[in-house]
Chain A
Amino acid sequence: MYFIRRILFAIPLLLVISVLAFALMHLAPGSPFDTERKPASPIVEENIRAKYHADEPVWKQYGEYLNGLLHGDFGASLKYQNHSVNDIIAQGLPVSMLLGGLAFCIAMGVGIPLGFLTAARRGGWQDYAGSFVALLTVCVPSFVIAPFMILIFAMKLKWLPVGLWITPWHMIMPSITLGAYFVGKVARILREGMLDAAQSEFVTAARAKGLGENALLLKHVLRIALLPVVSYSGPMLADLLTGSFVVENIFQIPGIGVFLVNSCLNLDSTVVVGLSLLYAILLIGLNLLVDFAYTLLDPRVKYE
């Protein structure tokens, strides 16, 4: 029931977002054609404007746009000739999703053991070293890590390609740069959660029953401490998707982030609105999934 309500709630939300994004792009002055060479004659320009419905009132343009959306059509790009927003999404989204997915695996695969280690060895050198590494990955932006990785692994050692997105070898550096920030985040959240859980009564009870420290940490403390990590993965997915703009930019990866940034610079309104909407849809959906996973993991949580 709760989830059905959440899904129903998402529809007006998406409408509001689409109106806002559409209005914002129309606030931008001039037409997107201004920056290019003038068309050969006024008639040509008129034809182009007619093709994109540029002369109709804004609300009518929005209505037509919305109608298209309902049929799964995000409209035509104003800048990329003969490309629809759907083409751009079909081209870029799988790439961005794969990049985000790989980075997500790195974040969890490295972050959880790191957080576990720092919490299990609290106050020891492993804690200090691990916590420092975790904070460092949070504080070193991807555009600082990436150039150094390129300099070392691509240019000096020539182990990995400098950029692009073709073979699995191309995916190593971008995934690591994108995932690094979240390694630190996940480790810090897990550490805090474990230290909290270690003080709870059921842990004391389990210890009193004679359970060994390692089994205690793995079976009881870690299980509880993973919950905040799961609930963080919702906002994390948002940051992974948007964080990939910079990584895609550095490594010349043809994902949707690059298209979005370029379209913003070009004032290509249909692409910007379409991609913002796509992001919103993706994130609302992914957050629902995260919440759903949360209820499965923690039987104490009940949504009405």
Chain B
Amino acid sequence: MNDPEHLSPGRRAWQRFQKNRLARWSAWYLVLLLAVVIAWPLLLKIAGGDFARLHGPDELSDAQFAPPSFQHWFGTDLHGRDLFSRVVFGAQISLLVGVFGALVSLVIGVSWGAIAGYVGGRLDGVLMRIVDVLYSLPTVVFIIVIVTTLGERLKESSIVQHSPAAAGALRIVLLFVGLGAVSWLTMARIIRGQVLSLRSRAFVEASRALGAGTPRILLRHIIPNILGVAITYTALTLPAIILYESFLSYLALGVQPPMASWGTLISEGVSQINPIRIYWWLIVFPGAVLVATLLALNFLGDGLRDAWDIKAK
């Protein structure tokens, strides 16, 4: 029964994916990263006492700029904070923004592309023309403008004045909505192409001839068949959004202190560059984790694309 001809497209893709060693390793790396990101804060809470004081991400100490050691695996920063802990908590923010941003782009991209492809005609022309126009605009500029102006506005609202934590959370929501809102263009184009070709396929025609209505065709035939494409492009959007977020945070336009993401951590490290002493660990560790994560996500996305055998156009 292992003949690939007899398997469903999903199972066939899964088999092909498992043969891709690079993608498999990337998946394991991401699982490990996720496990650390979830377990480390719990560990700090459970262990408490001295351990938490040594490793807490916001615990100041006299050990300024301590190089990596047994106590501080990634060394410490300007304020003597444990860098490992800060990288882990930074990962929380970076991954959170990445995942939710990718989800926002998934929702917009799939609905936009599916409507354009399924309805077709004039609407299709208008919707795709908008995508073309947005492609040629400096979208990052718009995110910067949106996040800063709305962020300023939020600062004055009453909720935020009462709790600074809410301000940080709102800013993150703003970030991933903004980033997701400009990252759905490729998704929309590809989904439209898929829907367009699916719509005229024999099994869809057959289903329509048997009397199935639009909702049934969409649910039974179109959506299951674009699932693989949607998952693949979400996986490829994720690193792009993480990268954008780190760019914005690097420029102090993204996540605001006391919160930290990988971008702000690297930016802090870069600001400590001077010709006399080199605190390499401040850049190497957050940078390495960021690069490794982006690589893993790209390998994973490429692997998924090969497994589903998707052509870019």
Residues of A within 8 A of B (CB): 13, 17, 21, 24-25, 27-30, 135-136, 138-141, 143-144, 146-148, 150-151, 155, 192, 234-235, 238-239, 241-242, 245-246, 249-250, 260-261, 264-265, 267, 272, 275-276, 279-280, 283-284, 287
Contact = CB atoms under 8 A, between A and B. Distances in A.
Contact of B287 (A24, A144, A238): A144
Nearest to B272: A147
B285 to A, nearest CB: 11
A29 B151 CA distance: 10
A30 B283 CA distance: 37
B137 A139 contact: no
A226 to B, nearest CB: 16
B267 A265 contact: no
B250 interface: yes
Given A21-B145, A24-B149, A246-B250, A139 B138 contact: no
Contact of A280 (B138, B155, B243, B250): B138
Given A155-B275, A246-B250, A264-B253, A144 B144 contact: no
B95 to A, nearest CB: 16
A143 B133 contact: no
A279 B136 CA distance: 10
Given A139-B295, A141-B243, A264-B253, A151 B278 contact: yes
Contacts of A280: 137-138
Contacts of B278: 151, 155
A141 B142 contact: no
B264 to A, nearest CB: 11
B160 to A, nearest CB: 12
Contact of A141 (B135, B145, B252, B290): B290
B138 A242 contact: yes
B136 A234 contact: yes
Contacts of B137: 17, 238, 280, 283-284
Contacts of B162: none
B64 to A, nearest CB: 20
Interface of B: 133, 135-142, 144-146, 148-150, 152-153, 155-156, 239, 243, 246-247, 250-253, 263, 266-267, 269-270, 273, 275, 278, 280, 283, 287, 290-291, 294-295, 298-299, 312
Contact of B136 (A29, A136, A144, A287): A287
Given A249-B251, A261-B253, A276-B138, A139 B152 contact: no
Contacts of B253: 261, 264-265
Nearest to A155: B275
24 contacts: A27-B149, A27-B150, A28-B148, A29-B153, A135-B295, A135-B298, A138-B294, A139-B239, A141-B246, A141-B250, A141-B266, A146-B270, A148-B283, A151-B278, A234-B135, A238-B137, A238-B138, A246-B250, A246-B251, A260-B144, A267-B148, A276-B145, A279-B141, A287-B136
Contact of B149 (A13, A17, A25, A279): A25
B302 to A, nearest CB: 8
Contact of A139 (B135, B149, B269, B294): B294
The 4 closest A-B pairs by CB, nearest first: A139-B294, A279-B138, A144-B287, A287-B136
B287 A25 contact: no
Contacts of A155: 273, 275, 278
A205 B299 CA distance: 35
A269 B252 CA distance: 18
Contacts of B243: 141
B250 A29 contact: no
B247 A241 contact: no
B271 to A, nearest CB: 10
A167 B136 CA distance: 32
